[in-house]
Amino acid sequence: MRVISNGVKKVGIIGLGSYLPKKVFTNADLEKMVDTSDEWITTRTGIKERRIASVKEAASDLAQKAAESALKDASLKAKDLDLIIVATITPDMQFPSTACLVQKALGAAKAACFDISAACAGFVYALSIAEKFILSGVYRNALVVGSEKLSSITNWKDRNTCVLFGDGAGACILASVKSGGIISTYLGADGKNSHLLTLPAGGSRLPTSKETVSKKLHFVKMQGNELFKSAVRIMSDSVDKVLRKAGLSCKDLDILIPHQANIRILLAVAKKTALPAGKIYFNIEKYGNMSSASTAIALCEAVKSGRIKKGDIVVLDAFGAGLVWGAMVIKW
């Protein structure tokens, strides 16, 4: 790898974009498909509606649209990109990587490309990897995308899971910055609890067969209750740890951008960290849980709507299947 420049002190986000499929799928629509109610979904999860991609749209298509918007926001062209990382658990296919498909769609010919699999924490993991490439001087401009078509791995007959998920993509461009930027990162994992949230078949353990299809092993399997408790504990702990690494405390935080899995998880995190709910960004009501795309889209919306202003201390906080988690402090 060729070192482009030395002396990069800070890496920051210089452009953001998001894409949500047009189709809105409401709780009332779900009531017609499974034994559920708007009341149950709203009180247990905080979700009112979610977006569902069309049959023609795959994760790379959603990612491409979010990436184009982020490039425009950063006033860069696709040819300026040195690196593309896509965080996804719903890649277009096992291989090639979705990042390579995004590269082709954008025309970002000189970019190195790979995907990472860190479920709902994928966007934060990918940001951290891209930051290191830029800090080391290897690359100048990196595109990081969280893109998911969770509707493609959802069992629409299982009320335990189908009410939770949605589709979307969020993207950002990272580069060296003179002020602000990423201050600290905290990443973690707990493979002992990998069984709590899985997509069992389609990999080398259980290759696709008539049996795996008939047993519905190509859909998300989740132990929601156990995950709930882990999510509250780990997301609260991550906020404390990442702020401490930055030499800051909760009092310094202007806004928390959490992974949007369940409103009750986020309110419990607020209570545990003694953060006022007003300092937390919520959009779960509109989109449900979009795994790696959730944090990316929430960050993009918070910036574009003016909730995040220059100089603000922003904390990203994500948790998901693996188990994996990632938090990041960014000065805007």
State the residues that interact with ligand ACO by CB under 6 A.
36, 40-41, 44-45, 119-120, 159-160, 163, 197, 224-225, 227-228, 231, 261-262, 265, 289, 291, 320-321
Q: How far is the CB of 226 from ligand ACO (least distance, A)?
A: 8
Residue (51 or 331) nearer to ligand ACO, CB: 51
Look up residue 1 and give its DSSP letter. Answer: -
- Selecting among 27, 100, 113, 120, the annotated active-site residue is 120
Residue (138 or 197) nearer to ligand ACO, CB: 197
Residue (176 or 294) nearer to ligand ACO, CB: 294
- Selecting among 113, 172, 289, 300, the annotated active-site residue is 289
Residue (246 or 266) nearer to ligand ACO, CB: 266
Residue (80 or 226) nearer to ligand ACO, CB: 226
Q: How far is the CB of 224 from ligand ACO (least distance, A)?
A: 3
- Selecting among 27, 259, 262, 300, the annotated active-site residue is 259
Token reading at 243: 């702020």
Rounded Cα distance between 170 and 178, Å, is 24
Token reading at 43: 């009180």
For residues 156-174, one letter each, b for 16 or more C-beta atoms within 10 angstroms of the residue's C-beta and e for the rest, the string is eeebebbbbbbbbbbbbbb
Q: How far is the CB of 265 from ligand ACO (least distance, A)?
A: 6
Q: How far is the CB of 7 from ligand ACO (least distance, A)?
A: 38
- Catalogue the E-assigned strands of the chain: 11-19, 23-26, 49-52, 83-87, 112-116, 142-149, 167-176, 181-189, 197-198, 221-222, 255-258, 313-320, 324-331
Pair 144, 71: CB distance under 8 Å: no
155 as an active site residue: the answer is no
Rounded Cα distance between 327 and 121, Å, is 8
The single-letter code of the amino acid at 182 is I
Helices and strands (H and E) in the chain: how many: 11, 13
Cβ-based neighbour number of residue 311 at 10 Å: 10
Residue (261 or 269) nearer to ligand ACO, CB: 261
> What is the pairing mode between strands 83-87 and 142-149?
parallel
Environment class of 229 (CB within 10 Å of its CB; exposed 0-12, middle 13-18, buried 19+): exposed
Q: How far is the CB of 247 from ligand ACO (least distance, A)?
A: 30
141 as an active site residue: the answer is no
100 as an active site residue: the answer is no
Report residue 214 CA to chain centroid gap. Answer: 30
Q: How far is the CB of 76 from ligand ACO (least distance, A)?
A: 30
Helix, strand or coil for residue 255?
strand
- List residues with catalytic annotation: 120, 259, 289
